[in-house]
Amino acid sequence: MELLSVTNLTKDFGGLRAVAGLSFELKPGEILGLIGPNGAGKTTAFNLMAGFIPPTSGEVMLEGRSVVGLKPHAVVKRGIARTFQIVKPFRNLPVLENVTLAAFLHEPRRASAEAEAKRMLGIVGLSGQVERNASDLTLGEQKRLEIARALATRPKILFLDEPMGGLNPTEIDEACQLVQRIRDQGVTIMLVEHHMKAIMRISDRVIVLHHGVKIGDAPPREIVKNRDVIAAYLGEGAAHA
Ligand SMILES: Nc1ncnc2c1ncn2[C@@H]1O[C@H](COP(=O)(O)OP(=O)(O)O)[C@@H](O)[C@H]1O
Ligand SMILES: [Mg+2]
């Protein structure tokens, strides 16, 4: 069975159709890239699938059961976690506490929740930073903290919204390895990213959105040759050059 099945997902903001009849399936263990120019509807798609905003129409099924209409915390409990394009840690709380709060979702005992939080901080490479305030971390560290918080909710699927935005080349390299490490632990991943080299390197499959419409859905090596995709990114002329 498909892990996630999205059918005709549509979102209108007034007269603007931000996501237009999006359909795709996510297989267990996949790393699925989601790309598209600014305003293509990528973050809106994540918001719809994670219960942050209701769709105008369409269906999102996790393991054969609809998650449409559920609030974000209920969607998280079903096994879908996400990070935000703009990081949102509890800035005045220590790193460990940030992740422990997320671990409470499945583990009510503080000692066990903290132990789980420490394990997640180890996975993302923040073991040495547990006592620091979230606001004192670098952007790269804050992005990893967000991932640790998401992992602490024990997701089946993790949505990552531009996890490499604003990172330097070394940090981007580390982020690629982290995404692959998380997948190897059994978490299926869908990620939005503008860093083309990174997304083409780590994705098993890439979906391309343009004005809310899916214009490509193929392995990276085919996506880079797709004329519609090239046109969406570089302008009409480029595809025919
Ligand atoms: N809450 C909202 N209200 C009105 N318009 C929105 C809202 N969220 C996003 N949009 C619009 O929907 C389109 C898609 O936005 P978004 O999903 O953020 O794109 P992306 O993440 O691909 O850059 C944009 O035109 C954006 O301005
Ligand atoms: Mg976005």
CA–CA distances in Å: residue 184 to residues 29, 31, 82, 148: 8, 10, 18, 15
Whether the pLDDT of residue 241 is over 50: the answer is no
- pLDDT confidence of residue 177: 96
d(CA 152, CA 139): 20
- pLDDT confidence of residue 234: 64
The number of domains in the chain is 1
Over residues 210-217, mean pLDDT? 96
Q: Ligand 1: does its nearest atom lie under 6 Å from the Cβ of 47? A: no
Q: Is 14 exposed, middle or buried (0-12, 13-18, 19+ CB in 10 A)?
A: exposed
Cα 108 to ligand 1 centroid, rounded to whole Å: 36
Q: Residue of the nearest CA to atom 25 in ligand 1?
A: 39
Residues of the domain holding 121 = 4-240
Q: What is the pLDDT of residues 60-101, one digit of tens each?
A: 999 999 999 999 999 999 999 999 877 787 788 999 999 999
- pLDDT confidence of residue 216: 94
Whether the pLDDT of residue 41 is over 60: the answer is yes
Find the range with the poorest average confidence among 38-42, 138-142, 182-186, 224-228: 224-228
d(CA 236, CA 241): 9
d(CA 80, CA 70): 12
Residues contacting residue 239 through CB under 8 Å, at least 6 positions apart: 227, 228, 230, 231
For the stretch 171-182, what's the b/e string if a residue is b when 16 or more beta carbons lie within 10 angstroms of its beta carbon? bbebbbebbeeb
DSSP 51: T
Give me 15's structure tokens. 């007269």
Cα 47 to ligand 1 centroid, rounded to whole Å: 10
Q: What is the pLDDT of residues 158-212, one digit of tens each?
A: 999 999 988 999 999 999 999 999 999 999 999 999 898 999 999 999 999 999 9
Q: Residue of the nearest CA to atom 16 in ligand 1?
A: 41
Closest ligand, as measured to the CA of 41: 1
Considering only residues 1 and 121, tell me which one the structure prediction assigns the higher pLDDT: 121
Q: Ligand 1: does its nearest atom lie under 6 Å from the Cβ of 42? A: yes
- pLDDT confidence of residue 202: 97
Over residues 26-54, mean pLDDT? 96
User: pTM of this prediction?
Assistant: 0.93
Over residues 33-42, mean pLDDT? 95
CATH of the domain at 62: 3.40.50.300
d(CA 115, CA 203): 31
Over residues 150-158, mean pLDDT? 97
Whether the pLDDT of residue 240 is over 60: the answer is no
Q: Band the pLDDT of 235: cuts 50, 70, 90.
A: low
Closest ligand, as measured to the CA of 17: 1
What's the Rg (C-alpha) of the chain?
18
Q: What is the pLDDT of residues 95-113, one digit of tens each?
A: 999 999 999 999 999 999 9
Q: Band the pLDDT of 233: cuts 50, 70, 90.
A: confident
Task: Quote the strand ranges of 14-164, DSSP E.
Answer: 16-26, 31-35, 57-62, 65-66, 80-82, 157-161
- pLDDT confidence of residue 91: 82
- pLDDT confidence of residue 230: 82
Cα 108 to ligand 2 centroid, rounded to whole Å: 33
